[in-house]
């Protein structure tokens, strides 16, 4: 089991209230991603769940039992940090098995669990190597293996891919997702990268200044953002947000349209503008267009479109895909 419930949880550092009164339900077996900009409180919230920080108010329930005052070692959780924190003088085998050794587990049982974890993580051929002989991705897998052998109720990942290059991040995203499918354990994953959130999560928790802005599946947040913050944060490239007279004509204080929901033409359309930047990515091209009377609009179009910097284009939004927000920034 690995259900976690936060009831009116808050955290204060001196005069600063960084987590003001959060309620959240995490079901057994879910892969939940905390996402938001730097300083939004996502890592602090994870550390509160782990017991690495004391709560200032509220309760943390794990499998229905109050864990608020329990030590980290008593909560049955395993944390994987941004830093691999491996012992350089130890082999991969010893690094993975270290928490079991410290707990006094029998040597034969340690070896069995280490080899099981290594098989799951494709580390069997590297068990006798030292960390310096491994790639960044392999080191991160060793850190995950050290968590797996503890058979925790829940895995807590604190931006584990931040130290990896772009290609390795993609590979490790897939590996962590596959690992979750194999183990079926509850996982909470912290990231500032909404692409990681969209591709990995069963449930996304969008945080902003310590508040939960919205909770839902990736596609729920993509299709039905509750407010301007979520609308502008979820989606890559981000949603175009337009205010002023154009928004009023379309029935909102602010309107939103995603780059993939506009039609581009070189001859006619609703909004006329000039291409500022054309990002040719192969399968797609992102055009950043300075539209008369509106501002810069991003349009996603075919990768082979023959449009360059400085050219005049016309953009027409899909009226059925417009998002409308009121004066308070809430979905209308």
Most confident among 77-86, 95-104, 143-152, 213-222 (mean pLDDT) = 213-222
Q: Are residues 200 and 112 in the same domain?
A: yes
Q: Are residues 150 and 292 in the same domain?
A: no
For residue 331, being part of any structural domain is answered with no
Q: Are residues 274 and 218 in the same domain?
A: no
**How far apart (Å, rounded) are the C-alpha atoms in residues 73 and 302?**
52
CATH code for the domain in which residue 300 is found: 2.40.50.140
Q: Are residues 112 and 24 in the same domain?
A: yes
Does residue 103 carry a pLDDT above 70?
yes
Q: Are residues 196 and 293 in the same domain?
A: no
Q: Are residues 150 and 270 in the same domain?
A: no
Mean pLDDT of 275-296: 94
Q: Are residues 156 and 218 in the same domain?
A: yes
pTM above 0.85, yes or no: yes
Q: Indicate the residue among 164, 198, 230 that finishes a domain.
A: 230
Q: Are residues 184 and 264 in the same domain?
A: no
pLDDT tens per residue across span 162-210: 878 888 888 889 889 988 998 899 999 999 998 999 999 999 999 999 9
Q: Are residues 212 and 273 in the same domain?
A: no
Q: Which residues contact 226 (CB under 8 A, 6 or more apart)?
A: 213, 214, 330, 331
For residue 332, being part of any structural domain is answered with no
Q: Report the number of distinct structural domains present in the chain.
A: 2
Q: What's the pLDDT score for residue 1?
A: 65
At 104, list the tokens: 């006094």
Q: Indicate the residue among 195, 230, 265 that finishes a domain.
A: 230
Q: 284: which strand partners?
A: 302
Three-state SS sequence of the chain:
CCCEEEEEEEEEECCEEEEEEEEEEECCCCEEEEECCCCCCHHHHHHHHHCCCCCCEEEEEECCEECCCCCHHHCCEEEECCCCCCCCCCCHHHHHHHHHHHCCCCHHHHHHHHHHHHHHCCCHHHCCCCHHHCCHHHHHHHHHHHHHCCCCCEEEEECCCCCCCHHHHHHHHHHHHHHHHHHCCEEEEEECCHHHHHHHCCEEEEEECCEEEEEECHHHHHHCCCEHHHHHHCCCCCCEEEECHHHHHCCCCEEEECHHHEEEECCCCCEEEEEEEEEECCCEEEEEEEECCCEEEEEEEECCCCCCCCCEEEEEECHHHCEEECCCCEEC
Mean pLDDT of 70-89: 90
Q: Indicate the residue among 200, 230, 260 that finishes a domain.
A: 230
Q: Are residues 170 and 143 in the same domain?
A: yes
For residue 235, being part of any structural domain is answered with no
For residue 30, being part of any structural domain is answered with yes
CATH code for the domain in which residue 121 is found: 3.40.50.300
Q: Are residues 170 and 31 in the same domain?
A: yes
pLDDT tens per residue across span 242-267: 999 999 999 999 999 999 999 999 99
Residue 305: give the domain boundaries: 240-325
For residue 185, being part of any structural domain is answered with yes
């Amino acid at each position: 089991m690995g259900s976690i419930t936060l009831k009116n949880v808050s955290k204060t550092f001196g005069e600063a209230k960084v987590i003001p009164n959060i309620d959240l339900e995490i079901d057994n077996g879910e892969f939940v991603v905390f996402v938001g900009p730097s300083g939004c409180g996502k890592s602090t919230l994870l550390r509160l769940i782990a017991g690495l920080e004391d709560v200032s108010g509220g309760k943390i329930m794990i499998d229905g039992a109050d864990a608020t005052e329990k030590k980290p070692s008593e909560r049955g959780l395993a944390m994987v940090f941004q830093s691999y924190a491996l012992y350089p003088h130890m082999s991969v085998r010893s690094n993975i098995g270290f928490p079991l050794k410290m707990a006094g587990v029998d040597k034969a049982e340690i070896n069995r669990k280490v080899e099981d974890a290594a098989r799951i993580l494709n580390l069997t051929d590297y068990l006798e190597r030292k960390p310096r002989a491994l790639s960044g991705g392999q080191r991160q897998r060793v850190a995950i293996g050290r968590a797996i052998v503890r058979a925790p109720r829940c895995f807590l990942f604190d931006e584990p891919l931040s130290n990896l290059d772009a290609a390795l991040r993609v590979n490790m995203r897939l590996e962590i997702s596959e690992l979750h499918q194999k183990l079926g354990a509850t996982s909470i994953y912290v990231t500032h990268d909404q692409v990681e959130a969209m591709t990995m999560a069963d449930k996304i928790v969008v945080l902003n200044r310590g508040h939960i802005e919205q909770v839902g599946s990736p596609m729920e947040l993509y299709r039905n953002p509750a407010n301007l913050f979520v609308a502008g944060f979820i989606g890559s490239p981000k949603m175009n947000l337009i205010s002023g007279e154009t928004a009023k004509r379309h029935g909102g204080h602010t309107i939103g349209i995603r780059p993939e929901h506009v039609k581009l033409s070189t001859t006619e359309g609703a909004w006329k503008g000039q291409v500022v930047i054309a990002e040719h990515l192969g399968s797609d091209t992102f055009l950043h267009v300075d539209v008369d009377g509106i501002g810069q609009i991003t349009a996603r179009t075919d990768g082979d479109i023959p449009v360059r910097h400085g050219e005049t284009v016309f953009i027409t939004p899909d009226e059925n895909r417009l998002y409308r927000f009121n004066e308070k920034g809430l979905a209308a």
